[in-house]
Structure 1
């Protein structure tokens, strides 16, 4: 590798690589599919939960409406935890957050038979929030690992810029990255839904494996850069 390539690799944070982004998006898709099929709520998309809350609330069906409150509250708690972790751990926040997410998902899998609502909706929304708040950039560009709306917008804007001849340097690659992230999320949702329907007790193993690879890549790259 050339000296310029080595410098570029060193400047790129280990948690901002395209590989990590794809793995996290895949895990995010798995978790949303799982919670929707099993619990009828979204782990990641709190916009949907908020809409359902007020749709059922305005219809007078408050028992059903309040079903969407716990994941929203758990997501808020996860954001606060992630903010504290970023402040306390600095560059290690991504690795520590990933480890916490893995442990939480393992705990959800263990407790799910005894406390399905608490373990499933609260635990997974907490995981989604921490992931969304800690992993915010891919190759320097802001993105989301737990929903595709913003990613899709940036991918389409990039394609339009290229087609209209007004693209800046790097636009093609950036648009491709966002498109790939959307695809990874969709693939995660598809495989997560399939596994949840076929072997629900093992469905959370899929995002756990993806997060384990993220953790290993973050730590390996950190060791290589340090050496």
Structure 2
């Protein structure tokens, strides 16, 4: 994909590989952060639901209830993202990213004062908004907050190329999806290391990634306004 493709509107700026990889890094990071700090997952609500019922069926309802808030917060984040798309149109992704940055900064600043529940809720809202707003790369459905679907598409595309008759660009798409998986994993590794090493400052890294993504998304708009 070239800069010309983006400028010409063939590919939305928020669907470029550069932006999506930045978001995947942030997605992996905050999942590791919430697991280490709060013992839940911000992105993977499937895992939270499994833990909820596994502990519940074992009779440990106090532990099971620990996984309810992030699931509910994720739902709230999806609703906020849907509302933003209705009222803000093409500006929804940028506004959503600003909200995510503000929430992460607030949680990071109040890390030692906020109860665990509040931090978990805020980060799950961030994860949900990112999941809803940034769901494509170069027009193809993807995820920046988990790797399951990305891994499936990467492997399916490789199979199509090996089997023969795959459309032009299939191998490149596979590479993009593998890169998403790898960067998400790198983000999780960075999140685990930073959370244990500098817990009070750890959220600064995903904030930086989101800020770069926001600035890169807004750069063409600023150039057009000149």
Q: Is the contact between residue 158 and residue 172 of structure 1 (CA under 8 Å) also seen in structure 2? A: yes
1:185 and 2:184 aligned: yes
Residue aligning to 2:197: 198
Residue aligning to 2:4: 6
Residue aligning to 1:83: 82
1:50 and 2:49 aligned: yes
Matches of 2:212 and 2:59 in 1, distance apart? 45
Q: Is the contact between residue 112 and residue 119 of structure 1 (CA under 8 Å) also seen in structure 2? A: no
Matches of 2:195 and 2:158 in 1, distance apart? 35
Matches of 2:16 and 2:3 in 1, distance apart? 14
1:10 CA drift (Å)? 2.0
Structure 2 SS opposite 1:200 = coil
Deviations 1:184-226 (A, max 9, x none): 1000000110011111111101100000001100110223355
Matches of 1:7 and 1:177 in 2, distance apart? 17
CA separation of 1:225/1:122 partners in 2, compared to 1, >3 Å: closer, same or farther? same
1:167 CA drift (Å)? 1.3
1:8 CA drift (Å)? 5.6
Structure 2 SS opposite 1:201 = coil
Q: Which runs of 5+ in 2 are unaligned?
A: none
Aligned ranges 1:158-169 → 2 under 5 Å? 158-169=157-168
Matches of 1:36 and 1:9 in 2, distance apart? 39
Q: TM-score when scaled to structure 2?
A: 0.95
Aligned ranges 1:69-108 → 2 under 5 Å? 69-108=68-107
Q: Is the contact between residue 82 and residue 134 of structure 1 (CA under 8 Å) also seen in structure 2? A: yes
CA separation of 1:5/1:82 partners in 2, compared to 1, >3 Å: closer, same or farther? closer
Q: Is the contact between residue 6 and residue 12 of structure 2 (CA under 8 Å) also seen in structure 1? A: no
Deviations 1:131-179 (A, max 9, x none): 0001111100000110000000000001111111131111011111111
Deviations 1:112-132 (A, max 9, x none): 211231332100000000000
1:60 and 2:59 aligned: yes
Query: How many equivalent pairs are there?
Result: 224
1:9 CA drift (Å)? 4.0
Matches of 2:176 and 2:56 in 1, distance apart? 39
Name whichever of 115-124 and 175-184 sits farther off.
115-124
Q: TM-score when scaled to structure 1?
A: 0.95
Q: Is the contact between residue 14 and residue 222 of structure 1 (CA under 8 Å) also seen in structure 2? A: no
Matches of 1:126 and 1:8 in 2, distance apart? 29
Aligned ranges 1:202-221 → 2 under 5 Å? 202-221=201-220
